[in-house]
Structure 1
């Protein structure tokens, strides 16, 4: 057999027997874990952070911390207002940022609020990490909120943290980093930005969010390949019609791969519970890394 003929045969064999791994991007929208009820609800926000007790002598630094704390409260009020039926009243003073001393019950009654959200602690710093002998900085903010019911008795702690990359370019060398370490007092905008992110982190269980998973798909069979084309086209009903009968078939490997692909279909439709159940079936039929990965990620979500 001539070498050229042999090469052609090998190429044709590869095209007919090998498959190219394919992926699909799966955007998933998640509802909040907790809600404030279906009726119209007012949440009043108050400051309980007493910066004066910290005895910070540098007025510029004190102003940056107060500005960051106010940014955290303003971000919390804004995001909560995006929720259906939620109205917020932010009682924090952006100028002096004084401490509210009224009782929770009184604050709720005065503002006809069902909930009172207090900012109890606020801390900000710029941390340093050495990467390849260069100093890389991050703006780190911690916020501690408490969400009270109007009676002042029942409450829930809501703690948030944000760590954001600070400098566009690292400071070169250890000695230079000692001389030019950025300070809180000189980075008000960065502190306020991280404060807003920390507030959103504190409220994450009450806010909807979206993620996009890039899922690999099995295509080692004509039926699986057909289902993949339907998944990529967003025709999930047709993909289900192809995949579902295969799961109970005699070929364990094919059944496992079909179950995994179907788990991706359910995830794309937002049915996380069904996706997790079918992914477990996939791993039971025949253990595989795709199923193990999606199971671990779905259980976290």
Structure 2
């Protein structure tokens, strides 16, 4: 299930003219793909991660523990927002103690339907690219984090491995960056259970007076007026204009959450005249 926000932003590179490409941004809210079984699910967070002190120095271990805790705290916060979900945690921020008790024992002791164990975590700065600025080399770095969880049912038998990762370009705020990336990696691991938002940037055709007017209406959220302009053009003699009108109208339907109609209009756009915009939109709508 997807909920569509009717929000549009005009992105203009330079002065407005018929040659300037205009985009509608369509944020799409996705509901979780998976849900927890019980009407009221209790999830227990447990740490199973031990850092190898023979391979990692003490200072780095403390930094990794702190970042790993940020990942767990981020996961806990988001899980608590889910309807019918209660979360408790045995993971502390300072000693970051490891719990080796059996999942079945912990689930029974804390009356949990699920036990989410933190199994692995790593984070650090990686080299992304080296560019040449005149005679000098410029290195670009990012902070990257990976995290591994296991989600167990209370019997300790059935489980699912959850792996997440996130990357953020370095911007001089290394402390902020690593914690932010750690949280994002945890959310990536749990993405099937959490709602999330993506933003689609859809280019709009505006190479005629009618299309320009339709674009203004689309960007203002006046979809009914855009429809009145675009729909008659689809059956017109000018196949190129008909193709572009059908595509713009497909974006209108996508913005209103009607994926089936948007897909149909995008296909009509390609039938009238093959174009990359419609082909790209068709592929995206099929995935949605």
TM-score by length of 1: 0.76
Listed as ranges, the matches of 1:223-262 within 5 Å are 223-248=210-235, 251-262=238-249
Tell me how many residue pairs correspond in the alignment: 266
Cα deviation digits, residues 165-195 of structure 1 (max 9, x gap) = 23539xxxxxxxxxxxxxxxxx665433321
1:144 aligns to 2:143 (yes or no): no
Name the CA shift for 1:223/1:135 in 2 (closer, same or farther; >3 Å): closer
d(CA) in 1 for partners of 2:272, 2:204:
17
Q: Secondary structure at the match of 2:123?
A: strand
Structure 2 residue aligned with 1:122:
121
Q: CA deviation at 1:162?
A: 1.7
Name the CA shift for 1:21/1:196 in 2 (closer, same or farther; >3 Å): closer
Listed as ranges, the matches of 1:36-115 within 5 Å are 36=36, 39-51=39-51, 53=52, 55-56=54-55, 58-115=57-114
Structure 2 residue aligned with 1:214:
201
Q: CA deviation at 1:95?
A: 2.0
Name the CA shift for 1:244/1:115 in 2 (closer, same or farther; >3 Å): farther
Larger displacement relative to structure 2 (219-228 or 207-216): 219-228
C-alpha contact 1:73 1:90 (8 A) present in aligned 2? no
d(CA) in 1 for partners of 2:126, 2:286:
33
d(CA) in 2 for partners of 1:283, 1:37:
43
Larger displacement relative to structure 2 (187-196 or 116-125): 187-196
C-alpha contact 1:231 1:265 (8 A) present in aligned 2? yes
Name the CA shift for 1:285/1:105 in 2 (closer, same or farther; >3 Å): farther
Cα deviation digits, residues 69-96 of structure 1 (max 9, x gap) = 1111111001111222222112112222
Larger displacement relative to structure 2 (104-113 or 139-148): 104-113
Unaligned ranges ≥5, structure 1: 1-17, 170-186
Structure 2 residue aligned with 1:286:
273
Cα deviation digits, residues 39-80 of structure 1 (max 9, x gap) = 2322211111122x4524622111111111111111100111
Q: Secondary structure at the match of 1:131?
A: strand
d(CA) in 2 for partners of 1:147, 1:85:
17
d(CA) in 1 for partners of 2:152, 2:237:
57
Q: CA deviation at 1:297?
A: 3.6
Q: CA deviation at 1:247?
A: 3.6
d(CA) in 2 for partners of 1:36, 1:237:
40
Q: Secondary structure at the match of 1:293?
A: helix
Name the CA shift for 1:167/1:243 in 2 (closer, same or farther; >3 Å): closer
d(CA) in 1 for partners of 2:191, 2:247:
30
d(CA) in 2 for partners of 1:26, 1:122:
34
Cα deviation digits, residues 93-128 of structure 1 (max 9, x gap) = 222212221222222222222222111111122223
Structure 1 residue aligned with 2:23:
23
d(CA) in 1 for partners of 2:226, 2:155:
52
Larger radius of gyration: 1
> Which of 148, 158, 173 is the matching residue for 1:154?
158
Q: Secondary structure at the match of 1:88?
A: strand
Q: Secondary structure at the match of 2:143?
A: strand
C-alpha contact 2:251 2:262 (8 A) present in aligned 1? yes
Name the CA shift for 1:282/1:68 in 2 (closer, same or farther; >3 Å): same
Larger displacement relative to structure 2 (36-45 or 151-160): 36-45
d(CA) in 2 for partners of 1:278, 1:105:
53
